[in-house]
Chain A
Amino acid sequence: MAKKLMKGCEAIGEAAIRAGCKLFFGYPITPQNEIPEYMSHRLPQVGGAFVQAESELAASNMIYGAAACGERVFTSSSSPGISLMQEAMSYIAASELPVVVVNIMRSGPGLGGILPTQSDYAQATKGGGHGDYRVLSLAPWSVQEAADLVADAFDLADFYRTPVYVLGDGLIGQMMEPVEFPEDRKPLRPLPPKTWATTGWRGDRPRAVVNSLFLDPIKCEQQNAKLQARYAQMRAEEVRSAYYGDEGDLDVLVVAYGTVARVTLTAMEDMKATGLKVGMLRPITVWPFPRDALAEAAERAKAILVAELSCGQMLEDVWLSTASMRPVHFLGHQGGVLLAPEEVSAAIRDVAAGRSAEVRYAG
């Protein structure tokens, strides 16, 4: 297929369809409406079904039901809508069901605004709903990577029987870039048949029951242990990050993800002539967080600069990963204001020159 010029939202929709997703349940919210729009147009063409639910609560419980039946299913929303879905996310995680949820983040708290932020990082990586669970969270920095990660998200969800987030800021959903879809993509992992799916009992296997209620404390603890074992496997096998910049000792190591990493890369190119040694670690999985890769890069750096479109959420994971071995500085915007390349390069220069104050508390 020839390269297309697609909005992130359109590419996400197309990638889901190519991953075999035939079901979309959702509720509109800016800035991700082009995803349901795209799915409502395309799903009937491939024999699928699109339902605009009456609310995000309904949509998230519809994906819960569809996943229980063994179907590839996804929904998308933006920050306030994702908050409404958190009850179902906890139930889906507890019930060990594979779903893909795309969050095109806008500003908050509350209704906030419609412009890009990364301020749902904590919600995505620390749980979001009640109980001890984690959601594998993938954070693309381009339209192409958004499409690729959506395809991966379906495989990872099926393999681990878990919800998977694709976490993009508003710009990822709204900007247009060239994108292509591989014709011969293979699953990331061999995917076993879904013998647990509630497709009707015909006496040829134990009855499939989808459940998140465990009144017996021993059984509830065992279910928690089962989930934790899976999260441990994800931490061991699914961490993804990318490193850019100087390979030797660094004046400043920047940690940034999503479009902020794109801005940072532009800033790094602009400041090559300054002679400063700069590197960037870009988490691609924000959960599990690339702790080892970060610690390794931090050892080569005099100081760390965290740049994100929030008051400082990933910042805490950077502290945890580096155990205060290096001073950490912060650059952020909130409310939908973007970071400009000059701001990032100015912050890098300030950190290198000792003109920036170390931060000790996240916002």
Chain B
Amino acid sequence: MFEDRVTVLVGHFGSGKTEVAVNGAIRLAEGGARVALADLDLVKPYFRSRAGRELLAAAGVDLVAPEGDDAGDLPIVLPRVRTLCADPEVRVVIDAGGDDTGARALGSLSDLLGRLGVGFDLVLNFRRPFTPDVDSAVAMAREIEAAARLRVTGVVSNTHLMGQTTPAIVLEGCALARETAGRLGVPLAAAVVEERMRDAVDEAALGCPVFPVRRLVQPPFDQEGYRVPRSGPLFRVL
């Protein structure tokens, strides 16, 4: 996970791409890398990486997303994304929009991304309504690949139920993700486990690296120990 210089996260909308992207970008920056997080979410208006602008700036992550009062709802891929992807000094995380619709924006970068050989990770939450099983996850992967004109290189297991997640739910989702990865002929790159649950989850049983996250993408009233310093971002803020 995040081993390639450029990592693209795709998946069904609501599968957790933004959560993985924001956590991953912050971790890379903490490791001393120059990191850019490109928010390519052209699908939904809420809970996007760009809502965490302040949080990412504090961590030293360069957020690449449309700015300005009227850009909120416009489907734009900024030219800087291409520039950054081509820069060998920068680690890039691309948070794509949901489904094949969101992945379509990647098509405009597919010539460059294909040449670079990027990590193209499929984030899966089997508790989301449109990916309840392996067949639907495989079908969705194929639709995304067709729209993005890129092949999935790894699967990230992210099955959870927010605050109601149990270790059993994590393990059950991971088994389905492993089967999906097998069907796609790619490795199971990682299983997402919330930091608060790491002691409770049998990590050996996951059979893949753990990607620990703090759940950042949450409405303001669902915070535990964090506080929104001012109104606005639909995120908890560290």
Contact = CB atoms under 8 A, between A and B. Distances in A.
A168 interface: no
B223 to A, nearest CB: 7
Contacts of B234: 171, 174-175, 338
Nearest to A260: B221
B45 interface: yes
Among B44, B46, B127, B162: residue with most chain A CB under 10 A: B46
A109 interface: no
Contacts of B198: none
Contacts of A343: 231
Contacts of A7: 14
A262 interface: yes
**Interface SS majority for chain B:** loop
B227 A4 contact: no
A31 B221 contact: no
A340 B228 CA distance: 6
A176 B221 contact: no
A174 B46 CA distance: 7
Contacts of B130: 41
B31 interface: no
A10 B14 CA distance: 11
B157 interface: no
Contact of A176 (B14, B73, B223, B230): B14
A29 to B, nearest CB: 11
A5 B162 contact: yes
Given A31-B46, A114-B73, A341 B162 contact: no
A31 B45 contact: yes
B148 to A, nearest CB: 20
A341 B72 CA distance: 25
Contacts of B129: 4, 6, 10, 14
Size class of the contact patch on chain B: 20 to 34
A259 B221 contact: yes
A337 interface: yes
B219 to A, nearest CB: 5
A34 B128 CA distance: 14
A35 to B, nearest CB: 13
Contacts of A342: 227-228
B125 A5 contact: yes
Interface in A161-202: 170-171, 174-178
Among B44, B221, B228, B230: residue with most chain A CB under 10 A: B221
Given A170-B46, A178-B162, A343-B231, A2 B72 contact: no
B72 A337 contact: no
Interface string B51-76: 00000000000000000000011000
Nearest to A6: B129
A340 B227 contact: yes
A337 B232 contact: yes
Nearest to A106: B45
B133 to A, nearest CB: 12
B197 interface: no
A145 B162 CA distance: 17
B11 to A, nearest CB: 13
A106 B230 CA distance: 20
Given A10-B129, A14-B129, A175 B219 contact: yes
Given A170-B46, A338-B232, A178 B72 contact: no
A115 B164 CA distance: 26
Interface in A68-119: 113-115
B231 A333 contact: yes
Nearest to B72: A114
Given A31-B46, A177-B162, A265-B221, A5 B128 contact: yes
B47 interface: yes
Interface of A: 2-7, 10, 14, 30-31, 34, 41, 113-115, 170-171, 174-178, 259, 262-263, 265-266, 333, 337-343
24 contacts: A5-B125, A5-B128, A6-B129, A7-B14, A10-B129, A30-B73, A41-B130, A115-B45, A171-B46, A171-B219, A171-B234, A174-B47, A174-B234, A178-B127, A259-B221, A262-B219, A266-B221, A340-B229, A340-B230, A340-B231, A341-B221, A341-B228, A342-B228, A343-B231
Given A262-B221, A340-B220, 5 more contacts: A3-B164, A5-B161, A30-B73, A259-B219, A266-B223
